[in-house]
Amino acid sequence: MGLKRVGFIGLGIMGRPMAINLLKAGYPLTVWNRTRSKMEELIALGAYGANSPKEVAERSDVVITMVTDSPDVEEVILGPDGVIHGARPGLIVIDMSTISPAVTRRIASELAKKGVKMLDAPVSGGEKGAKEATLSIMVGGPRDAFEECLPIFEALGKKIVYMGPSGSGQTAKLCNQVICALNIQAVCEGLMLGAKAGLDLKKLLEAVSAGAASSWMLVNLGPKMIERDFKPGFKIRHQQKDLRLALELAAELKMPLPGTALVHQLLRIVEAEGLGEEGTQAAIIAMEKISGTKIVGEREGC
């Protein structure tokens, strides 16, 4: 049997390199993006550019969505021109965006009425992991659909873990985001303390990156913080969405998440500065504001 025909909806920071990796792995690919210009590169590489999510479904065995938030996934799957209207029994929908577990279960039950199975398969590893096909992928939904789609996941990531029924991939991702967000705050506080005390921050990074304080955030975002390179790999605005989703889940479960709530508020300072589209390393701005200290040099235009 040949490779499945894959459809890809949402060619943003993550979706674009993931779609390219599917093409490289040989999958016949149909793409759609709301802003059509972002489809051109993929079409030049051999993908078919569809006119709607509905048309993507009509041309595919498996449809992947990689958009922003719960309402966006609802729109591209259940909306007027959505995937559900081009779906036939046997189609599998994989949502790889980070959204609400409860909304995921609702979308899955709507699709099930049409004989369509849905997997929630959010990812971790950032733009770098998407480009290098080394993402960590956490999957919820029917186990048989997971097994059927495993080769597709293997073209996109390195660590693929089946978490359980619908919504459990998203729940795992929200736990991941809690850990990431507090980790970024830890990096900010350590670096700001060093800055205030007059240390050479490059030397500080060199020393602590090799010890017990090392982490993905320290190694990847620490240098960007001290270079004031705020170009987004993962946007502050999306981090805030994920922390909101984690806090909503925690509220449903009557679970206190004091550190997460604090970081969510600190990032509001960055958003209030108009920097929501910057990368999560811009979290350092909140620490600068409340400490009255610049990490290094002066930020232009502020």
By the rule CB under 6 A, 68 interacts with ligand NAP: yes
CA–CA separation, 210 vs 66, rounded Å?
Answer: 34
- 182: CB partners within 8 A, 6+ apart: 259, 260, 263
Catalytic residue among 117, 173, 235, 241: 173
User: At its nearest, how many Å lie between ligand NAP and the CB of residue 154?
Assistant: 18
CA atoms within 13 A on the CB side of 192: 20
User: At its nearest, how many Å lie between ligand NAP and the CB of residue 68?
Assistant: 4
Binding map of ligand NAP across residues 232-271, x = CB under 6 A, - = no contact: -xx---x---x-----------------------------
- The single residue listed with the structure tokens 């939904």 is 141
- 265: CB partners within 8 A, 6+ apart: none
Work out which of 33, 100, 185, 281 binds ligand NAP, going by CB under 6 A. Answer: 33
Q: Which residues ranging from 103 to 132 are in contact with ligand NAP (CB under 6 A)?
A: 123-124, 126-127
Residue 158 catalytic? Answer: no
Stretch that binds ligand NAP, among 19-27, 60-68, 178-186, 245-253 (CB under 6 A): 60-68
CA–CA separation, 174 vs 217, rounded Å?
Answer: 17
Alpha helices in the chain (DSSP H): 15-24, 40-44, 53-58, 70-78, 101-112, 126-132, 143-156, 168-196, 201-209, 216-227, 236-252, 258-272, 284-291
Q: With respect to ligand NAP, which residue has the nearer C-beta, 13 or 193?
A: 13
Contact residues: ligand NAP, CB under 6 A:
10-15, 33-35, 38, 66-68, 72, 75-76, 97-98, 123-124, 126-127, 233-234, 238, 242
Would you name the residues annotated as active-site residues?
173
